[in-house]
Amino acid sequence: MTADEALALVREHGGRVTASRRLLIDALFDGNDHHTAEDLASAVQAGAPDVALSTIYRNLDELERLGVIAHSHLGHGPATYHLTTAAHCHFVCQECGTAVMAPDELFATLVTQASEQFGFDVDIHHFAILGRCAACRRD
């Protein structure tokens, strides 16, 4: 999905494409994969200083409802937002905070077993698996 396709999706579902929404979507499509709401607010406010953090959160909620983005909890820090087209799982080091992206396929067995044994549908993109990275284990 491109930024223009995301804006078209917003229009399709009755939303308006405001300057602040366009700036937010542009920031989400910027090269960085994980964005906090505060980071996104800073990016938007650089072009539109009057946009409140509450507006950013409302727009993030709407974009998540439309399936453009997903939020993840990577350890004890704030939620991060990423495009659903770049969905992936996360390992986060509890000592240094390093986040490692892991392919979805790594969790295929967990997802299957949770469904078959417990009737549970796991959302592997919403949370992180905490542990220690290789560098911290050596110390």
Same domain, 18 and 79: yes
Distances (CA, A) of 123 to 19, 45, 88, 106: 32, 32, 11, 14
pLDDT given for residue 92 in this prediction: 84
DSSP-assigned letter for residue 139: -
Q: How many domains does the chain have?
A: 2
- Average pLDDT (49-70) is 92
Structure confidence by residue, pLDDT tens digits, 76-100:
778 888 888 765 677 888 888 888 8
- How many CA within 13 A on the CB side of residue 95? 9
CATH number of domain containing 63: 1.10.10.10
pLDDT given for residue 107 in this prediction: 82
Per the structure, the complete domain to which residue 32 belongs is given by 3-84
Residue ending a domain, choose from 66, 84, 102: 84
pLDDT given for residue 99 in this prediction: 80
pLDDT given for residue 38 in this prediction: 93
Structure confidence by residue, pLDDT tens digits, 90-134:
788 888 888 887 877 888 888 899 999 999 998 776 667 889 999
User: In degrees rounded to 5, what are phi and psi of residue 71?
Assistant: -110, 150
pLDDT given for residue 80 in this prediction: 84
CATH number of domain containing 102: 3.30.1490.190
CA distance 115 to 73: 22
Same domain, 133 and 76: no
Instruction: Answer yes or no: are the C-beta atoms of 28 and 35 closer than 8 Å.
Output: yes
